[in-house]
């Protein structure tokens, strides 16, 4: 179990300024994640859109774990889903996570903890291409707890993620 919560305090402070504004900053490059539905903080008409830079500026958590889909141990770095939901001011309900091939899974907000899962944007120190299940992948620390090795958790570990919708 190697959860290395690499929380970068400086970045949190940097984020604090725009977060206090009523509106989320606009993405400056390609949007990699669109959050919609029952959320409080938006940067567009009805959605909150993020580019990689915005995600990378948020507090990061890192896991080193094996997965059932890859070979060997991988080190993932990403934003805890909880933080992301905090940012968009979503506190309850269910998150519908959808991949680029429109594959959708349901993640109840209540099941989300402070560190698991993360919305990973780096694997082994590099950004993930679409062929490598990138650019975003919901990852749990599978090796750390048998709780994270269930069918439900595996099914929630959606890759090639590009949309989140919070519903009640």
Partner 1 sequence: MKQSEPEYLRQSRWAIWLIGFGFFVILTATVLLGRQVVEDLEQQRSASSDNVQWTLTQVEVEYLSFLNALEHHGHDGPDEAADQEEFDLSEIRRQFDVFYSRVDTLEHSRLFSALRETPEFAKPLAALSSLLDATVPAIDGDDAALERSIGDIWLDASTLRDDVRRLSVSGLDFFARQSDARRADTAATLARLAAFSAALLLALAGVSVYLFFTNRMIRRSSARLAQANARMNTVLSTSLDGVIVSDAEGKVIQFNPAAEAIFGYTEADVRGRSVGELVVPPHLRDAHDEGMERMQRGGDRHVVGKGRVQLEAMRADGAVFPVELALQSATDESGEIVIGFLRDISRRVANEQELISARDRALAGQKAKDDFLTVMSHEIRTPLNGIIGNLSLLGDTRLSADQKQFIRNMEISGEVLLSHVNSVLDIARYEAGKMTVTREPVDLGALVQEIVDSQSGSAAERGNVIEWQWLGTPVPWVRTDGPKIRRILLNLVGNAIKFTKDGRVSVEVEIDGEDDQTGAPFYEFRVIDTGVGIAQEDAGKVFEDFHTTDPSLGRVADGTGLGLGIARRLARALGGTVGVESEPGEGSVFWVRLPLPASDPGLASASEQSAAGAQKALDLLVVEDNEINLLVIRKMLEKEGHRVTTATDGRSGVDAAGTRRFDAILMDISMPVMDGLTATRHIRSGGGPSADVPIIAVSANVLADAVEKFHQAGMTSFVGKPITVPALRDALQSVTGAFSGTDSAGPVPTSLDDMREDLGDAAFERLLKRFCEEMDALAVQLRTAAWQHGDQSALKMECHRIAGSAALFGLSELRTVLIDVENAIEAAENDRLEVLAHRTKRLWATSRRRLPLAV
Binding piece for partner 1, criterion CB under 8 A, among 9-17, 25-33, 116-124, 147-155: 147-155
C-alpha angle 66-164-72 in degrees, rounded to nearest 5: 10
Chosen residue from 28, 104, 149, 167 binding partner 1 by CB under 8 A: 149
Binding piece for partner 1, criterion CB under 8 A, among 3-11, 12-20, 25-33, 142-150: 142-150
CB of 144 to partner 1, least distance (A): 13
Please state, as a whole number, how many other Cβ atoms lie within 10 Å of the Cβ of residue 49: 17
Chosen residue from 133, 136, 141, 158 binding partner 1 by CB under 8 A: 133
Question: Given the complex with partner 1, which of 28 and 129 has the nearer CB atom?
Answer: 129
- CA dist 89 to 18, 82, 119, Å? 14, 10, 17
- CA dist 71 to 99, 118, 136, 157, 167, Å? 22, 20, 18, 16, 35
Closest CA to 74 of 135, 155, 132: 132
Binding piece for partner 1, criterion CB under 8 A, among 20-28, 77-85, 90-98, 146-154: 146-154
Chosen residue from 63, 121, 140, 159 binding partner 1 by CB under 8 A: 159
Closest CA to 119 of 82, 144, 149: 82
Chosen residue from 36, 43, 115, 160 binding partner 1 by CB under 8 A: 160
Interface residues with partner 1 (CB under 8 A)? 68-71, 100-101, 103, 129-133, 146, 149-151, 154-155, 159-160
């Amino acid at each position: 179990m190697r959860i290395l919560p690499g929380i970068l305090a400086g970045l949190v402070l940097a984020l604090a300024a725009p977060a206090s504004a009523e509106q989320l900053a606009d993405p400056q490059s390609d949007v990699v994640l669109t959050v919609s539905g029952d959320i409080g903080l938006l940067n567009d008409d009805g959605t909150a859109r993020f580019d990689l830079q915005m995600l990378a500026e948020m507090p990061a958590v890192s896991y080193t774990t094996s997965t059932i889909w890859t070979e060997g141990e991988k080190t993932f770095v990403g934003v805890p889903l909880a933080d992301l939901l905090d940012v968009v001011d979503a506190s309850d309900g269910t998150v519908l996570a959808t991949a680029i091939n429109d594959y959708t899974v349901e993640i109840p907000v209540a099941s989300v903890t402070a560190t698991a899962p993360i919305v990973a944007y780096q694997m082994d120190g590099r950004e993930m291409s679409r062929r490598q299940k990138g650019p975003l992948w919901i990852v749990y620390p599978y090796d750390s707890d048998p709780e994270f090795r269930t069918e439900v958790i595996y099914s929630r570990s959606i890759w090639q993620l590009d949309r989140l919708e919070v519903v009640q």
